[in-house]
Structure 1
Amino acid sequence: MTNDPTQRSQLAEATDAYVFGYALIMMELTRRLQTNTEQPNATQAPVNQFCQHTTLPTPEMKDVVRPNLDTLYTQAWIDLSAGPLVLEVPVMDEGRYWLMQLMDAWSNTSEQSPSSITPLTAPNLDPTQDVQVYSYALTGPGWQGELPDGLQQVAFPTDTVWLIGRIELHDTSDAEVQTVTGYQDQMRLLPLDVWADGGDYTPPAGSYDPTLPTTPPSEAITRLTGPEFFDELAALLTHTPLDPPDDRTSALLAELGLHPYDADRLPDAETLDLAKAAGLDAIEHHQGPTPVNGWTFMTTGIGTYGTDYPQRAYVASIGLGANLPQDALYPMTGNAATDGDGTPLAYTLTFPAGQLPPVNAFWSLTAYNSASFLVDNPEDIYAIGHFATPLTGTDGATTLHVQAEAPADPAMQAANWLPIPTSGTFTVTLRLYAPQTADLLPDWPPALTPVTPVTPEG
């Protein structure tokens, strides 16, 4: 094939189209998996209904990697093809952070994703619940009409929208979890005409397809053959406008017979399989951000991508559903939990005076084992920084102790100690909610620094 100029050109074009369509396919595979149910449950909900996460993660929970203990999640896959839907978010107690991240089918996060810091509109009374709510009219491409008073329009370029909502927990007590789940119960998602008529609404049951694979989307997408991937892409393009509109890509899709669909123009199966392999290789080796003191994270080129399709595909492959930098950042680093002799290692993370994470909401540090699950430990400490303010030293610096054994100083154990595994490797994620990105120093965060190995007691 490589000796045929026409085939080489087709392969290059199909590879570009694979990278272009990767995020769209990942979103669709995720949507199918998370909506394949008749009624909402702990991990799924029918289209246009909420899946509410109502319990805190534990080390025994293996359904989600790298979970956080800072918020409870609300998810919904939304279909706007039949008309606008109204999203209601209750007014919460002062100081409680919340974010309703809204993404189009291409995984772009809307700049109008409302939060407690930028709610976009004033609250009004929901008479069906007798509570004050923020009300948003979610509209799809091409929708035209007048909205009733009290609604803030949030327009999308695609009919498919993915909502990932986060509501802050102030601690891990049962009472606090009940407070947040109470707010979740007051959230509503209903058709615009029903909302305008008074809002009395019971959503219809969903559907369950027992033949639908339960394979995680990140694995399912790699199992698709080249022809299967491009068949999926062609089908999705029939009802998913390009975001943003792109004449060059439109011409490429037409040339390949993908959109408008033309079976006679499609490359042969061998070429499409080669394009899949080349596309996956390009995504895997895409130039990611340069680590800062061992931490990997992005402050630009994430959350919304324009025509940077390689970046969009790369982010979808490592963390589908990325936030905008002004909403949340997630620096990550890690290392070995023991030395070559199996002796547990201890680390410190020291923020010099005046260099604590700059946030408008809050921050936390969470540890994970080599499989990206929470680290089992006798004290049930999985994250620090958020629920209790870490102690500072006499010089104003704040040192966090990242190690398996408790620090010798009891004062450090309550808020400055994060347990890690006693073997293998570990990673930590520094979560910054509503970060002040303009205040991030070029060499921040400081490095996670190894210290003298810890010898377990006894």
Structure 2
Amino acid sequence: MVQGYPGQTNTLYRGEGLATADDRNLVRPNVDTIYSCIFYDLAKSDLEFTIPEISDRCWCFPFYDLYGDNFGNIGSLQAWKAGKYLLTLTDDDFSVSSENIPGQYQGCVKSPTPYGLALIRILANDREADMAHVIELQKKISFKPVKRLANTNIPSLDLRIFPKILNDQNISKAESVFQLLAALAHYNPPEVLNDRVWVADMLKHAGISNGHFRKPKDTDMEAAAEAATTSSINIRRLAGMTDNLGNDWTKTAAHILGGYGSYYNGRHIAAIRGYLALTIDQAFYPVYTAGNPTVAYEYKIGPQEAYLVTFSSKPKLIPTGFWSVTAYGGDGYLIPNQLNRCVLGDRANLQYPDGCAVYSGNDKNKSRKDQSFQVLLQPSDIPPPKKWLSNWLPAPAGGGSFSFSLRFYGATESLANGEWEYPVIQKMEVIRQ
């Protein structure tokens, strides 16, 4: 992601539309929101940011440290308002607050590290007029440095460090991660205060000291990286790390999703599947676990095979929430197809078996009926019959590895506790015209 970022800290870069199969800047993007991104640097100043009035849709300003911890969110799901906010560096109480802050601000985001990023999301649909509206909203978002009373001796963040290290052909991928960590760790300690001493000691034993990495003698970096990944995968097998939702669906427990605390293995496994996950109060991502999927929850689909996903009813959401299911190729990017369709959900033209619309009007929890409907995951080179076209989500042409993500933004409790019946998935032969 960083390598696709244009260049300067404290500068907001605005997306120009929904993600497409041509995009390669972000692995496993959603196709529901238009992104804006800023890498912030609080070494020399705070940042004041302005949120415009966004009253008719879901929006979220999530803030992360460089390790991917989502330490604070401002958005519609928690009824935050338009106005000015402050992003500041602090020594503790890393959160978002509306109390004991300067009067001109609606709230204050307290960052645990001087460097971090925000990946802003505003809901859109694929209609040209709606995307144009969201792009206009983005133009009204602003960030500007403001003076902070306390000075620091922290150097400014130079984003060129990322491509310089990650593109170095003389070192392995595993070693490049340690080189990058060495360059950043001193000024970007763990969010958990009690972890800072032992984490620093562990990094020293791993070869990181004074901003540099020196590989320990006789260490196989690739084997060490593989062992770390295996350890992270196994955390999901421990009691309390996943919640069973029924029909072979699970969700990651709240304490290892988005905000990870001391569960560094949990953060690792989230990064493998998709960097910059949100905390569960914003969104969660149920996982279908049948069929022995890989760590990235990839599935195999033959050239003549399909997956039929049967929903018992519409997912129940709070008023500005939304849901979607998105398909990805084995490389984690969106799948090219003749419909240019990579997602289906509550803004799509889904149909019941009798041809009636699943969704009508603006109320996503109500329509003239609520009953079972289906989504067809089928290779993009085998179009299904006409009656299936609205509910067809293309998989890779010719079959192969792929994955899919079910997303809930603004989920009601029934989705989180398993009260709602999760979809039944059946692997079968393709449906032909």
Contact 1:299-1:437 within 8 A present in 2 as well: no
Q: As a proportion of its length, which structure holds more strand?
A: 2
> Is residue 10–residue 39 contact of structure 2 (8 Å, CA) maintained in 1?
yes
Correspondence 1:156 to 2:116: no
- Secondary structure of the residue aligned to 1:181 is helix
**Change over 3 Å in CA distance of 1:54–1:305 after alignment to 2:** same
Among candidates 385, 392, 397, match of residue 352 of structure 2 = 392
Say which of 23, 36, 61 aligns to 1:74: 36
Q: Distance in 2 between matches of 1:363 and 1:454?
A: 25
Matches within 5 A, 1:9-408: 33=3, 43-92=5-54, 94-110=55-71, 112-120=72-80, 122-123=81-82, 134-142=83-91, 147-169=102-124, 171-193=125-147, 212=164, 215=167, 222-224=173-175, 229=178, 233-246=181-194, 250-251=197-198, 253-254=200-201, 257=204, 269-270=216-217, 273-274=219-220, 277-278=223-224, 280-286=226-232, 287-289=234-236, 293=247, 295=249, 297-300=251-254, 301-332=256-287, 335-338=299-302, 342=303, 344-353=304-313, 356=315, 358=317, 360=319, 361-393=321-353, 396-404=371-379, 405-408=382-385
| Cα distance per residue 1:319-377 (max 9 Å; x no partner) | 22111012122335554332xxx4x2232211114x53645511112222333333333
**Displacement of 1:243 after TM fit?**
1.5
- The Cα shift of 1:428 comes to 1.8
Secondary structure at the counterpart of residue 419 of structure 1: strand
What's the secondary structure of 2:395's corresponding residue? coil
Letter in 1 for 2:110: A
Could you list the per-position Cα deviations for residues 263-300 of structure 1 after superposition, in whole angstroms to 9, with x for gaps in the alignment?
8xx997216x3577435413334225468645564242
Give 1:245 deviation, angstroms.
Answer: 1.0
1:64, 1:256 → 2: CA distance? Answer: 28
Report the 3-state secondary structure (helix = DSSP H, G, I; strand = E; otherwise coil) of the residue aligned with 1:246. helix
Q: CA RMSD in A?
A: 3.8
Identity, % of aligned positions: 22
- Looking at structure 1, the residues matched to 203 and 300 of structure 2 have their Cα atoms a distance apart, in angstroms, of 47
The TM-score with structure 1 as length reference comes to 0.70
Could you say which residue in structure 2 is the equivalent of 1:198?
none
CA contact (8 A) 2:46 2:145 kept: yes
Once the two structures are TM-superposed, the CA of residue 314 in structure 1 deviates from its matched residue by 2.7
Distance in 2, matches of 1:309 and 1:211, equals 24
Distance 2:248 2:173 in 1: 29
Unaligned runs of 5+ in 1: 1-29, 35-42, 124-133, 195-205
Provide closer, same or farther for how the CA distance between residues 277 and 245 of structure 1 changes in structure 2, counting only shifts above 3 A: farther
Q: Which runs of 5+ in 2 are unaligned?
A: 94-99, 149-157, 237-241, 289-297, 355-369
Corresponding position of 1:413? 389
Number of equivalences: 377
Contact 1:337 1:422 in 2 (8 A): no
C-alpha change, 1:432 and 1:207, in structure 2 (3 Å) is closer
